[in-house]
Amino acid sequence: MILMKDIVRDGDPVLRQEAAKVSFPLSEEDQKLADDMMEYLKVSQDPDLCKKYGLRAGVGLAAPQVGASKMMAAVLVPSEEGTKSPFTDVIINPVIISHSVQSGALTEGEGCLSVDKEVPGFVPRHDRITLRYQDTTGETHKVRLKNYPAIVCQHEIDHLHGILFYDHINHDNPYEVDEGTIMFE
């Protein structure tokens, strides 16, 4: 089971590397990594288990964050009560094949399990993306995402290219975003 002690923190070079493409069929090790990352997100989103294991809650976790420089990330965007999750999958060798001109950003800024300090500011991203990726069976998917699930996937795909969320914050004016940027909770 992945615990906070297994999460690599900012400053470790693995977070600034270009991760390696994953080949199929998945090795046992890669299958376990995928399962463990998704399990982390599930446990971290359960208030009791989160507390029991001392985890920080997350909706995304990329392999470099647990020291594996591989093109793989788990995403579990929780659903509103009773509705289907807007996006849940382990995305392998993901590529953003198209995106909106319009930007989107979280009004509260972004957090990252590998960055212990709060870095205030808006993180401008594409509001809508078309994402192509393989799932753990090797099947290729092409999905269109918008708003929160799109933000989360961009945050995780950045990790696979050695980019951290605060690289996108305008340090002269952290709360400046292009006009027309969609801001959301």
Ligand X SMILES: CNC(=O)c1cccc(C)c1Nc1nc(N2CCN(c3ccccc3Cl)CC2)nc(N2CSC[C@H]2C(=O)NC)n1
By the 10 Å C-beta count (0-12 exposed, 13-18 middle, 19+ buried), 56 is classed as middle
CA pair distance 112, 168, nearest whole angstrom? 13
Q: Which of 136, 155, 160, 164 binds ligand X (CB under 6 A)?
A: 155
112 known member of a binding site? yes
CA pair distance 46, 48, nearest whole angstrom? 6
Asked if 152 touches ligand X (CB under 6 A), the answer is yes
By the 10 Å C-beta count (0-12 exposed, 13-18 middle, 19+ buried), 89 is classed as buried
Report the residue closest to ligand X, judged by CB. 111
155 known member of a binding site? yes
Nearest C-alpha neighbor of 135 from the set 2, 30, 3: 30
156 is catalytic: yes
**Pattern of binders to ligand X over 61-100, x per CB under 6 A?**
-----------------x----------------------
Asked if 112 touches ligand X (CB under 6 A), the answer is yes
Which range touches ligand X (CB under 6 A), out of 19-27, 30-38, 148-156, 170-178?
148-156
CA angle centred on 66, ends 63 and 69, rounded to 5°:
45
Contacting residues toward ligand X, per CB under 6 A: 45, 57-60, 78, 106, 108-113, 118, 151-152, 155
Residues designated catalytic: 156
